[in-house]
Chains A and B, each alone.
Chain A
């Protein structure tokens, strides 16, 4: 048995989205099962199956350091605060 990850695409504009997973003995059987389990109500018009053991998975340690880089988050708040302060300064003079 293999585990397959199921991806569905709804229409021409949307991207493929992960819908779930299933176990099956063969690729063909996985496709039939996915058809009956995930798109029997036409939840998508495109279907991808990816065997889970074919997915290349990142080590969490590879990603973890990037959670602590505030300098990469340019949300503009510092600039906005500075501009607001300058505006207030101008109004009071």
Chain B
């Protein structure tokens, strides 16, 4: 299932796909090392869902050919990815990883709502599919938050983690240049950044006022953060063992 879109709209869709792809990878890397077994399975299962969502979008752009999908996912140059720095960030702090999951999935809901009535029918279908699963991701984060925020120490740690992620979270809302055309042609109902205030309201209703700081310099998502190279190397670790191998 491929959609015929302009280069600008392709870039708009890539930004969503790349965010999902890297977020899924980051979550999945917690397998075996989250603080307790149940969370281990849940967090990585959520990561797998995110990878699945990325694959749906890559498939829209690359077609049914697995090699073409893989190539789009793994073989682009650094400046051809359109991920935000929030999803590229390396962390070995579980609180930061969990806070990022909450921030990302809360924001993601707004983002997918914008394309749920898209003029591209295939994208509408993907949006509906994604929301069926994202509902449970948010339920996971919110239920865990109920427990964490009730404990003073856990609350402090969580709020500190959100504060550390706040500037990068602004970068999640930074558009690619192609977004304007995506909005103008009805692919998206509006710019993602227009959802910022509603997003902040949701977050601050839960944990109080947040100092969001300054957004990172991402050059409209064309510039990778310092952590991207190592992340991509981990993602490509097996592929790079033998580039001539057929998978």
Contact = CB atoms under 8 A, between A and B. Distances in A.
Interface string B104-137: 0000000000000000000000000000000010
B163 interface: no
Interface string B34-64: 0011110110011010000000000000000
Interface residues of B, number: 16
B139 interface: yes
A26 B45 contact: no
A35 interface: yes
Interface residues of A, number: 13
Contacts of A40: 41, 45, 48
Nearest to A1: B36
A22 interface: yes
A32 interface: yes
B147 A36 contact: no
B36 A23 contact: yes
A32 B36 contact: no
Interface of B: 36-39, 41-42, 45-46, 48, 136, 139-140, 143-144, 146-147
Interface of A: 22-26, 28-29, 32-33, 35-37, 40
7 contacts: A22-B38, A25-B147, A26-B143, A26-B147, A28-B143, A32-B140, A36-B136
Given A29-B147, A32-B143, 5 more contacts: A26-B146, A28-B143, A28-B146, A35-B136, A36-B136
